[in-house]
Amino acid sequence: MNTGKVTLVSAGPGDLDLLTFRAAKAIAAGDVLLIDDLVNDDIATLKAAHARVVRVGKRGGCKSTPQAFIQRLMRRYALQGKHVVRIKGGDALLFGRAGEEIADLRHAGIEVEIVNGISSGFAAAAGLGVSLTHRDHCQGVIFVTAHLRDGTEPDWATLAATGMTLAIYMGASRIDSISEALGKTLAAGTPAAVVQWAGTSREKRLVATLGDIAACAAAHDIASPAVILIGGAMGEAMEAVSARSEPAMRRLSA
pLDDT in tens, 83-124: 999 999 999 999 989 999 999 999 999 999 999 999 999 999
The number of domains in the chain is 2
Q: Is 31 a catalytic residue?
A: no
Check 31, 36, 91, 104 and give the catalytic one.
Answer: 36
What domain range is 111 assigned to? 5-115
Q: How many CB atoms within 10 Å of residue 45?
A: 9
Q: Long-range contacts: 146-149, Cβ < 8 Å, 24+?
A: 146/170, 146/171, 146/174, 146/178, 146/228, 147/171, 147/174
Q: Is 36 a catalytic residue?
A: yes
CA 119, CA 130: separation in Å to the nearest integer? 15
Residues 159 and 245 in one domain: yes
**Residue-wise pLDDT tens digits, 71-83:** 999 999 999 999 9
pTM exceeding 0.85: yes
Alpha-helix residue ranges (DSSP H) falling in the chain: 21-29, 67-79, 98-107, 120-128, 156-161, 175-182, 213-219, 235-243
CA 204, CA 209: separation in Å to the nearest integer? 17
Residues 9 and 40 in one domain: yes
Residues 68 and 99 in one domain: yes
Check 74, 170, 234, 238 and give the catalytic one.
Answer: 170
Which among 67, 99, 115 is the end of a domain? 115
Residues 73 and 137 in one domain: no
Residues 90 and 143 in one domain: no
What three-state secondary structure class fits 68? helix
Which among 81, 99, 115 is the end of a domain? 115
Residues 133 and 234 in one domain: yes
Q: What is the CATH number of the domain that holds 87?
A: 3.40.1010.10
